[in-house]
Amino acid sequence: MLKKTGMCAVVALVLVQMSQGAIARPLAVVNYGGTLADAQQSAFIKPFQASTGIDVTASSYSGEQAKVKAMVDGRQVSWDVVEVESTDVGRGCDSGMYERIDWSKVPDAAHLSPAAKTRCGVGLFAWANTFAYNTKQLKNAPTSWADFWDTKKYPGKRGMRKSARGNLEFALMADGVKPADVYKVLATPAGVDRAFKKLGELRPSIQWWDAGAQPAQFLVSGDVVMSTVFSGRIITAQKAGQPLDIVWNGAISDYDYWVIPKGSPMKDDAMKFINYTIGAEQQNAYLALQPGGPSNSQALAKMDAAQLKNLPNTPEHSRVGVVNDREFWDEHGDDLDQRFAAWAAQ
């Protein structure tokens, strides 16, 4: 009887330990790869491991939300902290893919910009979706989306991300819509038709990309003369001596967010990691390596003039740009994504 009782106690203890995650694995952090991943490894992951003793493994993806959904639906969640774009935060939250953020447990919440605080996502850094060009290839610098579309004045291929998001706004600005009116126009059936018609004009010259590191590679190799880009990637390439320049006129400013897939067995550690990355000191360390705007306002005081010049959300850039309308894409994203996919496949 004593042996049996003892055995039951051991089994019970093992079950409790399993439920508490004693049979642990490293915290799985997923980002967009490239120089961004290198910067996170240096500024976040290594020092976080050293200061907390929590083991972390990092991997990259191209933003495929279907992968997260499959994990959540199958209750086999192996990713704990995932970097996503703003257009995926709201929809993922509504569909139950991501855990809700308890903002009372975010020490730096008061220092985050309103756009960095959502129901299921914590803003990591600000960036811009815009276009760049190779200064050695073009004698006259392009200055607008109209120039991006002008293949007679600027012959050659155009790199574009294979996505409705951003491209539809760019098309409308190329067609003469003011940045402040882009989402007002795009919210109408006529505006959507107008955007796709303008995209059609450029179709023969488009070279698609899907990974953030590709545009700089295309531009340096001469595969394209201009490309839509994520601003930080080009600033990093400039620092490496590449002859690339950014056009801020008509840029769409946005945030990348951390989310926690619903059902992550390491939710508490995931939140510790997220809180660590949005601290002012860690934000500065990260943005010194991966250009962008801090989500934590306290980090601004430690940024140098060169960094401040390249922030996507400066007053100068904001006057000539667009702020990504997350609510618009939450409401219309599915329909526009489907139409774009059908258009791109033609």
Which pLDDT score, from 0 to 100, does residue 45 have?
Answer: 98
Which pLDDT score, from 0 to 100, does residue 57 have?
Answer: 98
Residue 17 banded pLDDT, cuts 50, 70, 90:
very low
Which pLDDT score, from 0 to 100, does residue 23 have?
Answer: 52
Residue 16 banded pLDDT, cuts 50, 70, 90:
very low
Domain boundaries, given as residue ranges, for the chain = 23-126+255-309, 128-253+314-345
Q: Does 274 have pLDDT greater than 60?
A: yes
Q: Does 315 have pLDDT greater than 90?
A: no
Distance from chain centroid for Cα 246: 18
Mean pLDDT along residues 110-133: 94
CA dist 278 and 48 (Å) reads 12
Mean pLDDT along residues 327-343: 93
Fold classification of 128-253+314-345 (topology level): D-Maltodextrin-Binding Protein; domain 2 (3.40.190)
Q: Which amino acid is at 53?
A: G
12-26, 130-144, 264-278, 315-329: the lowest-pLDDT one? 12-26
CATH of segment(s) 23-126+255-309: 3.40.190.10
Place of tokens 């962008």: 292
Mean pLDDT along residues 197-209: 97
CA dist 303 and 287 (Å) reads 9
11-15, 29-33, 232-236, 294-298: the lowest-pLDDT one? 11-15
CA dist 148 and 171 (Å) reads 10
Mean pLDDT along residues 73-86: 96
Mean pLDDT along residues 95-114: 96
* Furthest C-alpha separation in the chain: 91
Backbone Cα Rg of the chain: 22
State the average pLDDT for the chain. 91
36-45, 82-91, 159-168, 306-315: the lowest-pLDDT one? 306-315
84-98, 150-164, 304-318: the lowest-pLDDT one? 304-318
Q: Does 6 have pLDDT greater than 60?
A: no
Place of tokens 């409308």: 172
5-9, 14-18, 143-147: the lowest-pLDDT one? 14-18
Q: Read off the pTM.
A: 0.75
| Domain pair 23-126+255-309 / 128-253+314-345, same fold | yes
Q: Tokens representing 234? A: 């080009």
Strand partners, 253: 128, 323
Q: Does 11 have pLDDT greater than 80?
A: no
Helix axes 280-287, 267-277, angle to 10 degrees: 70
